[in-house]
């Protein structure tokens, strides 16, 4: 039935429903001023529809709504039909005067007489949306779409009206549906259509659809306006397509359009995130030439561009220049960006200065700001300062979070402040991430027992450790058990080796150094297949091809020929147990650089201090540990020149056999201690 939706809307408001049967319609019209509040009919002497339509048009334009409506009803009763222009003018007049019921009656007449246009539909939809809500307007539009005759009347104006109605409600879902319906109906959108689509999609966060609508607009040969280009710049920047956003920005400049400050800030921010510092400052220069005054968003975007490109020192200089040249008072976000630069550089003092400035300016300092300052102290290895900042943070009634405690725990671990680590864990709420971090640090710092105790506490309170924590505990617990077993074996083997070699050396002391070397070559353990147990000693120049044993080895030499023998032999496969090499830089360097030697590459040869290298399943022993061993042994036995300790000739000639035995035992005990 024609006019069904309009009839329901009128009935819901208590109005007089319109009847499609003209014979019955006479009963609904009461004389003007009657109790029913109806409208009287006039006798029409003029029967020309064109002349009567002009009268309705004139009355509607002068906003004489009652007279215009009375004339319209009289024509309807007399079976005369006003033209489309007069009806549309009457609809607009009724809409301006909030006479929605009469407006719907007029529109029902127009539908029945088939004199509807897209402008008529647009007027009704706007009025219904204004006085009954967008949902009612959408309901009418959906029912009209079902009617084929009504859908034929839809033009770009009707679709633009509905898109505008949905845009005011940010109903992008219905906008997309109407957009697709427009294309299916064979209607081409206008510049208004795409401006509404692009701007609303961007406002609703639907950046891909906004870009799609913009591309379709260009494909249809339409020129986007200023608002559309501003919106699409925002869409491109949100999608991290800074190059396309820069092209749109340049197009605006070429067309004589002036990008606003928001578009400039958005583009600068996008370029900064992409690490395009030069392009970001290029847009900044254009922005100043357009007469825009930089605001906090501009400064933060440029400062973030420095931070993104790892130019932290320049970022701090730029931050100070902002305050000096522009007399600009930074906000919290700007201070946080500057604090992050301080954290990266380890500038804990400057970070504290910024923090005091923030507090003195009356700014409400957030937890994240304190966290960044504590992080700067962590990078600078200032755990005590970090603890002071933490106490000050609590005094300021700023609640710490998990990141605060994590940074404090890491700082205290590297500062060996183990009591403070325990206090932080006790003061904070039960958080598995804090316990995981503490256990990781204890394991890396060699505090296995403390890590084990904390791990058991973690399980007792019902927290579940992560995979890395469980793997570390299994690894270190197995290492401790195997280390205790290997320690006793290595200790016994090395002691027996020194006892054997020094015992043989005692018998030949009187014959001097030449006899010692001669005996060492004759009784070389590797020349006769090697001993079944115990380490082997390679002294000076071995004359035989070496077949490395799978047991601990101590190699002492200063002759290049001995090094060459090692490199030319099949010796490259060094044993997996303790391998100790003692020598000068020029002798040990070929071993390190050879393809055969499977030595760790983390040791650096010193020019003055001899190098010790250990190849064993004890990764935590580093070069500093070996240098400490050199110093300890030298001081213990009064060896002023540490080189003597590693020179076989010096030991054999300058030291007696008993002292050599003591040095060997002391060295073995010290190394064995390191392996615990």
pLDDT at 632: 61
Q: Would you state the torsion angle of the CA atoms of residues 404, 407, 408, 410, taken in this order, to the nearest 10 degrees?
A: 160
User: From residue 94, how far is each of 11, 65, 70, 404 by CA, in Å?
Assistant: 18, 7, 12, 65
Angle between helices 191-203 and 172-184 (to 10 degrees): 150
More confident residue, 124 or 607: 124
Q: Classify residue 607 as exposed, middle or buried by CB count within 10 Å of its CB (0-12, 13-18, 19+).
A: exposed
Q: pLDDT at position 443, please?
A: 83
* Confidence band of 622 (pLDDT split at 50, 70, 90): very low
Q: Assign 669 a pLDDT band (cuts: 50, 70, 90).
A: low
Contact assessment for residue 545 and residue 569, using Cβ atoms and an 8 Å cutoff: yes
Between 481 and 103, residue with greater pLDDT: 103
Higher-pLDDT residue of 640, 227? 227
469: pLDDT strictly greater than 70: yes
pTM above threshold 0.75: no
Please say if the pLDDT value at position 129 is more than 60. Answer: yes
Between β-strands 553-556 and 536-539, what pairing exists: parallel, antiparallel or unpaired? parallel
Distance CA 654, CA 643 (A): 13
User: What band does 463 get if pLDDT is binned at 50, 70 and 90?
Assistant: confident
Report pLDDT digits (tens) over 392-436. Answer: 999 988 999 999 999 999 999 988 888 888 888 888 888 888 888
Q: How far apart are CA 544 and CA 117, in angstroms?
A: 110
Most confident region among 393-402, 542-551, 625-634 by mean pLDDT: 393-402
Q: What is the DSSP letter of 224?
A: P
Question: Rounded to an integer, what is the distance from CA 131 to the centroid of its chain?
Answer: 46
Q: What is the mean pLDDT of residues 475-480?
A: 62
Residue ranges per structural domain of the chain:
332-478, 485-674
Q: What's the pLDDT score for residue 461? A: 83
Average pLDDT of 215-230? 92
- Is the pLDDT at 34 greater than 50, yes or no? no
Contacts of 394 (CB under 8 A, 6+ apart): 400
Q: Give just the sign of the alpha carbon dihedral 302, 308, 309, 311.
A: positive
CA distance 312 to 331: 19
- Structure confidence at residue 174 as a pLDDT band (50, 70, 90): very high
Phi (first) and psi of residue 382, to 5 degrees: -120, 70
Lowest-confidence region among 142-156, 209-223, 635-649, 660-674: 635-649
Q: What is the mean pLDDT of residues 596-612?
A: 36
Residue percentage of the chain with pLDDT more than 90: 37
The overall average pLDDT reported for the chain is 73
Judge contact between 459 and 499, C-beta under 8 A: no
Mean pLDDT of 563-592: 42
The three-class DSSP label of residue 537 is: strand
User: Is residue 575's pLDDT more than 60?
Assistant: no
Q: Which of 254-258, 316-320, 557-561 has the lowest mean pLDDT?
A: 557-561
Instruction: Give residue 450's pLDDT band: very low, low, confident or very high (50, 70, 90).
Output: confident
Query: Which pLDDT value is given to residue 601?
Result: 36
Alpha carbons 372 and 604: distance in angstroms, whole number: 35
In angstroms, the Cα distances linking 241 to 178, 249, 671 are 28, 13, 60
CATH homologous superfamily for 332-478? Tetratricopeptide repeat domain (1.25.40.10)
What pLDDT was estimated at residue 668? Answer: 56
Return the pLDDT at 374.
Answer: 94
Say whether pLDDT at 523 is over 50.
no
627 alpha carbon, distance to own chain's centre? 43
CA distances to 16, 17, 33, 90 from 13, rounded to whole Å, are 9, 10, 21, 21
Lowest mean pLDDT among 172-176, 319-323, 426-430, 520-524: 520-524
Q: How far apart are CA 468 and CA 476, in angstroms?
A: 12
Q: How far apart are CA 237 and CA 242, in angstroms?
A: 6
Residue 24 reports pLDDT greater than 80: no
Greatest mean pLDDT among 370-374, 536-540, 592-596 lies in: 370-374
pLDDT mean over 609-613: 33
- Sorted by sequence, the CB contacts under 8 Å of residue 555 that are 6+ apart come out as 538, 566, 579, 580, 581, 582, 583
Average pLDDT rounded to a whole number, residues 170-196:
92
Rounded mean pLDDT of 47-73?
Answer: 90
pLDDT of the residue at 544: 34
How far CA 355 is from CA of 316, 319, 352, 535, 589, in Å, comes to: 14, 14, 5, 61, 51
Is the pLDDT at 185 greater than 50? The verdict is yes
In the DSSP assignment, the letter for residue 301 is H
- Determine which helix (DSSP H) or strand (DSSP E) holds 614, and give its type and residue range: strand 611-614
Cβ 333 vs Cβ 358: under 8 Å: no
The mean pLDDT of 222-235, rounded to a whole number, is 92
pLDDT at 472: 75
Q: Determine the angle formed by the axes of helices 134-146 and 4-12, rounding to 10 degrees.
A: 160
In three-state secondary structure terms, 554 is strand
pLDDT at 477: 63
Residue pair 407/379 in contact by the 8 Å Cβ criterion: no
In the three-class reduction of DSSP (H, G, I as helix; E, B as strand; rest coil), residue 611 is classed as strand
């Amino acid at each position: 039935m024609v006019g069904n939706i309009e009839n329901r809307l009128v009935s819901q408001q208590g109005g007089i429903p319109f009847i499609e049967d003209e014979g019955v319609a006479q009963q609904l019209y009461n004389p003007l001023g009657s109790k029913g509040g109806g409208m009287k009919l006039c006798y029409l002497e003029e029967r020309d529809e064109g002349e009567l339509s002009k009268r309705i048009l004139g009355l509607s334009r002068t906003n004489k709504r009652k007279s215009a409506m009375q004339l319209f009803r009289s024509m309807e009763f007399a079976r005369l039909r006003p033209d489309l222009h007069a009806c549309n003018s009457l609809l607009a007049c009724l809409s301006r005067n909030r006479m929605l019921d009469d407006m719907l009656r007029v529109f029902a007449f127009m539908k029945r007489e088939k004199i509807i246009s897209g402008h008529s539909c647009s007027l009704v939809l706007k009025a219904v949306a204004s006085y009954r809500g967008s949902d009612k307007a959408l309901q009418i539009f959906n029912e009209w779409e079902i009617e084929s005759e009504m859908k034929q009347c839809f033009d770009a104006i009707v679709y633009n009206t509905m898109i505008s109605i949905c845009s005011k409600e940010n109903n992008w879902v219905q906008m997309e549906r109407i957009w697709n319906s427009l294309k299916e109906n064979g209607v081409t959108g206008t510049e208004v259509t795409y401006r509404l689509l692009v701007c609303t999609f961007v406002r609703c966060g639907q950046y891909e659809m906004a870009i799609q609508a913009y591309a379709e607009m260009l494909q249809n040969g339409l020129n986007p306006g200023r608002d559309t280009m501003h919106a699409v710049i925002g869409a491109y920047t949100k999608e991290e397509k800074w190059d396309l956003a820069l092209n749109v920005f340049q197009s605006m400049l070429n067309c004589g359009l002036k990008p606003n400050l928001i578009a400039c800030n958005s583009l600068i921010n996008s370029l900064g995130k992409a690490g395009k510092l030069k392009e970001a400052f290029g847009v900044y220069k254009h922005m100043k030439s357009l007469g825009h005054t930089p605001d906090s968003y501009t400064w933060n975007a440029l400062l973030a561009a420095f931070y993104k490109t790892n130019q932290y020192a320049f970022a701090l200089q730029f931050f100070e220049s902002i305050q000096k040249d522009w007399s600009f008072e930074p906000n919290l976000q700007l201070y946080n960006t500057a604090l992050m630069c301080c954290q990266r550089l380890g500038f804990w003092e400057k970070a504290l200065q910024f923090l005091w400035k923030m507090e003195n300016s009356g700014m409400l300092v957030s937890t994240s700001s304190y966290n960044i300052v504590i992080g700067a102290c962590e990078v600078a290895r200032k755990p005590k300062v970090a603890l002071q900042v933490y106490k000050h943070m609590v005094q300021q009634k700023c609640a710490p979070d998990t990141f605060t405690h994590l940074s404090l725990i890491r700082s205290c671990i590297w500062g060996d402040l183990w009591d403070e680590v325990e206090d932080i864990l006790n003061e904070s709420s039960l958080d598995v991430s804090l316990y995981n971090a503490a256990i990781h640090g204890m394991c890396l710092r060699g505090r296995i027992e403390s890590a084990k105790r904390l791990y058991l506490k973690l399980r007792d309170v019902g927290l579940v450790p992560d995979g890395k924590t469980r793997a570390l505990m299994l690894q270190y617990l197995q290492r401790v058990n195997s280390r205790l077993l290997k320690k006793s074996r290595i200790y016994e083997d090395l002691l027996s080796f020194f006892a054997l070699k020094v015992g043989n050396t005692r018998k030949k002391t009187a014959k001097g150094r030449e006899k010692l070397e001669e005996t060492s070559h004759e009784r070389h353990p590797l020349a006769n297949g090697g001993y079944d147990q115990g380490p082997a000693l390679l002294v000076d120049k071995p004359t035989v091809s070496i077949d490395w044993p799978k047991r601990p080895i101590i190699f002492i030499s200063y002759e290049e020929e001995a090094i060459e023998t090692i490199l030319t032999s099949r010796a490259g496969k060094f044993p997996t147990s303790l391998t100790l090499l003692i020598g000068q830089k020029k002798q040990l360097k070929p071993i390190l650089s050879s393809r055969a030697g499977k030595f760790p590459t983390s040791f650096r040869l010193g020019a003055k201090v001899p190098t010790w290298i250990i190849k064993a399943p004890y990764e935590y022993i580093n070069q500093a540990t070996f240098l400490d061993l050199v110093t300890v042994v030298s001081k213990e036995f009064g060896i002023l020149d540490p080189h003597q300790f590693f020179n076989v000739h010096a030991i054999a000639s300058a030291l007696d056999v008993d002292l050599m035995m003591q040095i060997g035992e002391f060295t073995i005990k010290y190394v064995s201690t390191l392996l615990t």
